[in-house]
Amino acid sequence: MIRYLKLLGPSATSRVLVAGARLAVRPQIDRLRLEGLQLRYLRGVIAAGGVLAGWPTTARAEQVRTTRFEGEWVRARNAEAGDDGVIIYFHGGGYVASSPRSYRCVTGPLSALSALPVLAVGYRRAPEHVYPAALDDAVAAYDWLLAQGHPPERIVVAGDSAGGHLALGLLTTLARCGRDLPAGVTLFSPLLDPALTEAVRRDARHHDPVLTPTFAARCAEAFHPGGDFHDPCLSPLTVKIGLLRTFPPIQTHVGGTECFAGDSERLHERLTRAGVPNKLIVSRGQIHSYVTMYRLVPEARRAVRRAATFLRSCIDEDVVVPSSSSQRLAT
């Protein structure tokens, strides 16, 4: 099956999206400043695009407001109340844009395919709220689920782009404190190196159609002014092997056109060295956060299905993940 997908190459829809992104998205996003009208424009465009991408939906959304964080429950019709397990989802948007509502295009299908409710966390965004505000909200959401009676072995985590970075920050924070970690994590197009060293080199060889290192650097500066990313909670690729060994199984999806793809390969190598069960799936010809194109792109639907199956397997008692398994796939 994998060889067949390689032979086919990217879908026609994907090729159209890549061509359009190169012409219209990359040049525009490279010039955007994260302040004033330009920031409001960026947030408005992403919010509108997310709502359109997720409409119509049969999943039910219920607002969650606590003293420590806000978010929403997203439940498909076949999702249980949560006794069988829950998914925490951290949305993308460079830490400066987007919201749980904009990500129902992902959380709705993820809930339906996994038959699990999804807690989409509305973490505080930069530049109004800088690090560690978002990480504090992620930890607060995890603690809230524990207080609601959900044990760690019945909690799984997913996130894309900045949300993938936040998911790994949550794991690192919990592991440092010697706390129980969630049962598994899926990452979509994760930000793994805010210093963007490999991303700059990769983009110089083959331009990312959507996300430029220049714009990613602006997001990183807005999120953590000063640019000191030595803390492993900020730089997942610097987490020590000994600490990585405490991490749960991890599945990573990344598009082949992304400037972040090389960092996902490095994460896969480090997790494998640490003996963490993990799988890296590189989808040829796909753009950054292609998972948000669930309704349009067959590769996005395939990624969400794989994520749902994996996350469900992490909490199902009759599924055993080998402790030393690792795999790298290209589709």
Active centre residues (catalytic): 161, 258, 288
Tell me the two tokens of residue 274. Answer: 């640490």
Backbone angles phi, psi at 83, to 5 degrees: -65, -25
Residue with tokens 């994260």: 34
| Spatial separation of the C-alpha atoms in residues 53 and 104, rounded to whole Å | 8
The per-residue b/e assignment along 124-135, b for 16 or more CB within 10 angstroms, e otherwise, is ebbbeebbbbbb
Task: Name the 3-class secondary structure at 253.
Answer: strand
| Spatial separation of the C-alpha atoms in residues 38 and 320, rounded to whole Å | 48
Please count the residues of the chain.
331
Burial class (CB in 10 A: 0-12, 13-18, 19+), 205: exposed
Tell me the two tokens of residue 79. Answer: 């999702």
Task: Name the 3-class secondary structure at 172.
Answer: helix
| Spatial separation of the C-alpha atoms in residues 202 and 260, rounded to whole Å | 8
Least Cα distance to 266 among 236, 311, 246 occurs for 236
